[in-house]
Structure 1
Amino acid sequence: MKRYIALLLVVASAALAACNTVAGAGEDLSAGGHAVTNSAEKSK
């Protein structure tokens, strides 16, 4: 039973870390999109 709980904690920690990484990547892509949009607006 202790092994099962330990494994569950490891998996949960990995899932949370991956979630933060994906959220950060999404924010970076969003910032890049805003930069392209702003450049296009300035070029008009």
Structure 2
Amino acid sequence: MKYLSLGQILAVLLLAGAGVGLAGCNTVEGVGEDVSAAGDKLDEAAEERGAR
């Protein structure tokens, strides 16, 4: 039985995550909206913590 290396496991997880993420967006516009929403959440979290 051949075991996978840590690098191979990480590569598979990265590709699977990218596939799920892209499938959820459907369009380039959707990707932009998702990235914008993530940025907004980071801004809100920073403001709550008092970061500048």
Larger RCO: 1 or 2 (CA < 8 Å, sep 6+): 2
Q: What is the CA-CA distance between 1:23 and the residue it aligns to?
A: 0.4
Distance 1:15 1:9 in 2: 10
% identity of equivalent residues: 8
Q: TM-score, normalised by structure 1?
A: 0.54
Long gaps (5+) in structure 1: 27-44
Distance 2:47 2:30 in 1: 26
Name the residue aligned to 1:25. 50
Distance 2:31 2:39 in 1: 12
Q: What is the aligned length?
A: 26
Please identify the structure whose Cα radius of gyration is greater. 1
- The structure with the largest helix share of the pair is 1
Q: Pairwise CA RMSD of aligned residues?
A: 1.8
Where does structure 1 differ by over 2 angstroms across 4 or more consecutive aligned residues?
Answer: none
Q: TM-score, normalised by structure 2?
A: 0.46
